[in-house]
């Protein structure tokens, strides 16, 4: 009996993804979104439901109305960052949970969509916080700890990014990622995960840094798949729901997502509800 080896691939049979994660309710998110759209990148904006400017954007803090109008066009993901941007590890469990769920209610009401991903405010995290989120419907959460690698987490509520955009190693890491060869095939798909705050570009007057970063990724776009944090979570974890025969030659897709897979150096598109036979 020959046992096939099945690997997950991104749409278009790509093996490498790029995702961005940016925090807080600032007006500079709007300029950053324009850059993402210009270069075809995808991002997750982590927002605080209780920190928007009240009546009109005040030069730094954005209004909820402007944020929904500009960031709510469906091109990017909206995620949680705590209603009042509280350091969760410093709070008792009930107060911390209230800050997250209150944020979720506010943002889901405003944007009219399910919002169940997040980034930890101030990078504040401990086991109590993670267990609290796990039992209350949060599917992934981003930390602020750089890995300098391109792998997914074992625990999605401890999703460490590759690096911050101001990291001195950022361009070296991008070049290394772009130069990774596609053979032999990776057993798992890879991801370059960058995070930060859009106000940092304004404060440091270095918007050109982000433009250079996006240009580099755009140059390698034929080999890259751009996606939000939430899409990657759903796509990668959903792959585990595929049902395989004992020798991996028959694969059934019970999900609502089409999957791109590779088996023995051949590409296959496994559509939603389809059973595929590999010979």
DSSP 131-148: HHHHTTT--EEE-S---S
Please report whether residue 7 resides in a domain.
no
Strands 140-142 and 117-119: parallel
Total-model pTM: 0.95
Strands lying side by side in the sheet with 259-263: 6-9, 259-263, 266-270
The reported pLDDT for the residue numbered 227 is 98
The reported pLDDT for the residue numbered 142 is 98
The reported pLDDT for the residue numbered 187 is 74
Q: What is the CATH number of the domain that holds 36?
A: 3.20.20.370
The residue range of the domain holding 118 is: 14-239
The reported pLDDT for the residue numbered 41 is 98
pLDDT in tens, 189-233: 999 999 999 999 999 999 999 999 999 999 988 999 999 999 999
Query: What distance, in Å, lies between the first and last C-alpha atoms of the chain?
Result: 12
The reported pLDDT for the residue numbered 183 is 55
**Which whole-number Å values give the CA distances from 264 to 63, 221, 236, in the listed order?**
52, 25, 20
The reported pLDDT for the residue numbered 275 is 98
Positive or negative, the CA dihedral 172, 11, 81, 26 is: positive
The reported pLDDT for the residue numbered 83 is 97
Q: Which regions in the chain score pLDDT beneath 50?
A: none
Please report whether residue 9 resides in a domain.
no
Residue 56: HSE in the Cβ half-sphere, 13 Å Cα cutoff: 1
Please report whether residue 203 resides in a domain.
yes
Q: Which of these, 271, 268, 267, lies nearest to 258 by C-alpha position?
A: 271
């Amino acid at each position: 009996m020959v046992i096939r080896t099945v690997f997950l691939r991104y749409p278009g049979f790509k093996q490498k993804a790029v995702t961005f994660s940016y925090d807080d309710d600032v007006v500079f998110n709007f300029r950053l979104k324009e850059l993402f759209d210009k270069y075809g990148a995808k991002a997750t904006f982590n927002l605080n439901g209780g920190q928007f400017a009240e009546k009109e954007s005040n030069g730094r803090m954005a209004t909820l109305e402007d944020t929904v109008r500009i960031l709510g066009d469906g091109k990017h993901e909206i995620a949680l960052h705590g209603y009042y941007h509280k350091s969760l590890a410093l709070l008792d469990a009930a107060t911390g949970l209230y800050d997250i769920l209150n944020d979720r209610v506010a943002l889901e009401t405003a944007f009219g969509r399910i919002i169940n991903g997040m980034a930890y405010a101030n990078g504040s995290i401990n086991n109590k916080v993670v267990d609290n989120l796990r039992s209350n419907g949060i599917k992934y959460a981003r930390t602020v700890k750089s890995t300098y690698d391109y792998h997914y987490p074992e625990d999605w509520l401890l999703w460490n990014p590759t690096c911050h955009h101001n990291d001195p190693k950022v361009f070296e890491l991008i070049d290394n990622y772009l130069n990774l060869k596609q053979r032999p095939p990776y057993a798992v798909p890879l991801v370059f995960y960058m995070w930060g705050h859009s106000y940092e570009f304004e404060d440091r007057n270095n918007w050109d840094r982000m433009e250079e970063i996006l240009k580099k990724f755009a140059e390698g776009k034929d080999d890259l798949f751009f996606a939000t944090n939430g899409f990657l979570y759903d796509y990668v974890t959903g792959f585990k729901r595929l049902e395989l025969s004992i020798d991996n030659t028959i694969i059934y897709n019970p999900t609502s997502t089409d999957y791109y897979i590779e088996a023995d150096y051949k590409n296959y598109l496994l559509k939603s509800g389809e059973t595929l036979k590999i010979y």
